[in-house]
A and B are shown apart, each in its own frame.
Chain A
Amino acid sequence: MAKMPTPDQLLSAIPASFPKAGWMDTKPDFHPGSYCYPAKTETLKGLGFENAHNWAPDNEDWELPENWEEIIYNSLKDALEKHRSLKVFMDCCVRCGACADKCHFFIGTNDPKNMPVLRAELLRSVYRRDFTTAGKLLGKVAGARKLDKSIIKEWFIYFYQCTECRRCSLFCPYGIDTAEITVIVRQMLLDLGLGINWIMNSVSDCNRTGNHLGIQPHSMREIVEFLCDDIETITGIRIDPPWNEKGHEVIFITPSGDYFADPGIYTFMGYLMLFHEIGLDYTLSTYASEGGNFGSFVSFDVAKRLNAKMYAEAERLGVKWILGGECGHMWRVVNQYMATYNGPADFLETPVSPITGTVFKNAAATKMVHIAEFTADLIKNNKLNLRPRRNDHIITTWHDSCNPARAMGILEEPRFILKNVCNNFVEMPEHTIREETFCCGSGSGLNAEEIMDQRLRGGFPRANALRYVHDTKDVNWMACMCALDRAALPPLVDYWVPGVTVSGLHELVANALVMKGEIPRTMDLRQEDLPFPDEDPEAAEEA
Chain B
Amino acid sequence: MDITAYCTSKGEKLVGLWVDRFFASYPIDSTGFMRTRRDKFANPVGETTRNAAALLFDAVIGKDADPEAVKLALHDLIWIRAVQDMTPSQAVGAIVLLKDILRKEVLAECLKPENSSSGSLKGYLDMESRIDTLCLMALDMYAEARERVYRVRIEDVKQSQSQVIRLAGLRRERSEPLPETDNEG
Contact = CB atoms under 8 A, between A and B. Distances in A.
Interface of A: 6-8, 10-19, 23, 33-34, 100-101, 106-112, 213, 215, 219, 222-223, 226-227, 257, 259-263, 265, 429, 431-432, 447, 449, 452-453, 456-457, 460-461, 464-465, 468, 487, 490-491, 494-496
A490 B41 contact: no
Interface string B35-60: 00100111111001000000000000
Interface residues of B, number: 53
Interface stretch (B5-13, B63-71, B85-93, B107-115): B85-93
Interface of B: 17, 20-21, 23-31, 33-34, 37, 40-45, 48, 79-80, 83-85, 89-90, 93-94, 96-97, 99-100, 145, 148-149, 151-153, 155-157, 159-164, 166-167, 170
A143 B168 CA distance: 56
B37 to A, nearest CB: 6
Contacts of A464: 40-41, 44, 48
Contacts of B157: 449
A15 B21 contact: yes
B161 A111 contact: no
Contacts of A460: 44-45, 80, 83
A-side interface mostly: helix
A519 B177 CA distance: 35
The 3 closest A-B pairs by CB, nearest first: A112-B29, A15-B20, A464-B44
Contact of A34 (B80, B85, B160, B164): B85
Contacts of A112: 27, 29-30
A23 B162 CA distance: 43
B40 to A, nearest CB: 7
Given A111-B27, A447-B156, A487-B156, 16 more contacts: A8-B100, A10-B89, A11-B93, A13-B25, A19-B28, A33-B85, A107-B44, A108-B44, A111-B26, A219-B164, A223-B166, A431-B42, A453-B83, A457-B84, A460-B83, A464-B41
A463 to B, nearest CB: 9
Contacts of B170: 226
Contacts of A487: 156, 159-160
A487 B24 CA distance: 34
Contacts of A496: 79
Contacts of A432: 41
A262 B44 CA distance: 29
A330 to B, nearest CB: 18
22 contacts: A7-B93, A12-B24, A13-B21, A13-B25, A13-B97, A19-B27, A108-B84, A110-B33, A111-B26, A112-B29, A223-B166, A226-B163, A429-B41, A431-B42, A432-B41, A447-B156, A449-B156, A452-B152, A464-B40, A468-B41, A494-B151, A494-B155
A13 B93 contact: yes
A468 B99 CA distance: 32
B37 A449 contact: no
Residue of A215, A259, A449, A465 ringed by the most chain B CB atoms within 10 A? A449
Contacts of B45: 107-108, 110, 460
A261 B149 contact: no
A226 B167 contact: yes
A222 B167 contact: yes
A119 B79 CA distance: 26
A265 B100 CA distance: 54
Contacts of A16: 20, 24, 28
A17 B23 CA distance: 11
